[in-house]
Every structure is written in C-alpha cells, then in structure tokens.
C-alpha cells in the first residue's frame, strides 16, 4: 500500500509514509525497526527546521506566504516569517512515529487537528473553510499522492541504504592471489612453443595442481589470510 493521508478534519490528521517506496523492503527484517526509527527522528527534526524558516517540506509547496505586517508587529514582534510558531501548541502536538509494517505515522491527533488541517487544507472541511476565509495554505504534511522535497527524500534513501547488506559474492573470492594455472608455472605458456622448463617444487602447474604439496600450500595460504 502506497503512502497516503487520512483525516476527519476534527481529531485525526495523519500521513502514513510507506518506507518501502524508499527501499525498506530491501533491508533485512531484523534491522527494519531501527531503520524506521532513524528515518522518523530525521524527518521530525527536518520538518520542524523547515517550518522555523517558513518553508514547506512538501515537494512543490514552496515558501509560506509572509504574515501581514500589522499582525506580525502585534503578535510576533515584527517577524513576518510564517513559521506556525505563536503559542507553540501546534508544533508540540506534531509527531513522527514508527507505525506498523513499513509505515511511519506523521501528523496530529486530538485538539490541534482543526488548526493543523486549517494550515494544511487536506480535508474537505478545511478546504471549504480556507476558501471562505481566504486563509493561505501552509502545508507541512503531504496529502495522498504528494512527496517530501527532494532533499528530504534523498536523505531518507541514504539512511535506509545504510541498513542494506551487500551479499557476499563467492565467485569473486581469489585463491593464492588470483590463481592462474597458466602463469603459476616457470613461465607463461607460449602458443608457439608449449614446452617450458621443468617446474621446481616452489611452483604450481597443471601437472601437480592436485598433488599433496599443492593442497598443503592452499591450506597454508587460507590459514594465512584469516
């Protein structure tokens, strides 16, 4: 199931972010809860950081409309940045938490939902109110079909990628420093003259490759590499 947003415009406004869209399904099952927790911690901090700057963390939403000068002067000591910081209740109620399966749960529940929905304008109720009151949209929770900004998406993928394990490729494991039967003898095979000097006991050729001496040499080399 893809990322989606559920709200009743009254007591619930939650975005369910499916981290399988960012590669969580490629992370070993034993590491997925930890990976989700790290993404949740990053995402909450980054969203709040962008809100402090009056910038939406949602792709395509851009910077929030600046506050009216009179309002800013009376309520925010002249600061016209729309950072959703007046009484602090809205930001305090915002959460990002580990959900079930591959999901994070992001948003609000309880008394702050109508205010949060009024800013995000996701429910039909909030959209109708904003249209009538001409309240500007300040979306910081993605609606269904929306994603976070590219820089946030990139960091989410980076965090998850750290938990992916690279499969061992035994086909690439070398033996005796890339064993080459044609070059381990006294010299490289010459196509014009296949006769070579008789190998000494310190070299391996195709004639003695499976001899006891070679087996001992291989075992000794494997022990040295541990």
Between helix 32-52 and helix 150-161 the angle, nearest 10°, is 160
pLDDT number for residue 222: 58
Largest CA distance in the chain: 98
What is the CA 137 to chain-centroid distance, rounded?
28
Residue 17 three-state SS: strand
Task: Express each pLDDT in 57-104 by its tens digit.
Answer: 999 999 998 888 887 777 777 777 887 876 668 999 999 999 999 999
7: pLDDT confidence band, cut at 50, 70 and 90?
very high
Task: Express each pLDDT in 188-206 by its tens digit.
Answer: 444 444 444 444 444 444 4
Q: Give the separation between CA 130 and CA 114, rounded to whole angstroms.
A: 12
What are φ and ψ of residue 45, in 5° steps? -65, -40
166: pLDDT confidence band, cut at 50, 70 and 90?
low
How many residues does the structure list for the chain?
Answer: 226
Domain map of the chain by residue range?
4-161, 171-226
- Which region among 7-16, 128-137, 180-189, 216-225 has the lowest average model confidence (pLDDT)? 180-189
Kindly give, in sequence order, each residue whose CB lies less than 8 Å from that of residue 46, ignoring residues fewer than 6 positions away.
57, 152, 155
Position with higher pLDDT, 225 vs 108 = 108
pLDDT number for residue 119: 95
């Amino acid at each position: 199931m893809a990322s989606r947003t559920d709200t009743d415009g009254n007591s619930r406004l939650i975005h369910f972010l499916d981290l399988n869209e960012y590669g969580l399904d490629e992370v070993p099952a034993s590491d997925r809860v930890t990976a989700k927790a790290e993404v949740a911690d990053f995402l909450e901090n980054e969203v709040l950081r962008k809100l402090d700057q009056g910038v939406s963390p949602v792709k395509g939403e851009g910077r929030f409309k600046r506050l009216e000068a009179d309002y800013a002067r009376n309520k925010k000591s002249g600061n016209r940045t729309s950072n959703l910081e007046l009484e602090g209740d809205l930001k305090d109620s915002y959460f990002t938490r580990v959900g079930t399966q591959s999901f994070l749960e992001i948003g609000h529940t309880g008394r702050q939902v109508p205010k949060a929905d009024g800013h995000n304008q996701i429910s039909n109720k909030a959209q109708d109110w904003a249209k009538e009151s001409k309240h500007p949209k300040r979306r910081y929770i993605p609606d269904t079909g929306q994603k976070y900004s590219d820089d946030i998406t990139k960091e989410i993928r980076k965090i998850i990628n750290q938990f992916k394990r690279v499969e061992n490729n035994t086909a690439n494991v070398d033996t005796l420093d890339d064993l080459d039967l044609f070059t381990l003898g006294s010299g490289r095979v010459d196509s014009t003259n296949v006769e070579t000097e008789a190998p000494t006991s310190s070299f391996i050729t195709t004639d003695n490759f499976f001899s006891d001496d070679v087996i001992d040499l291989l075992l000794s080399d494997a022990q040295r590499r541990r």
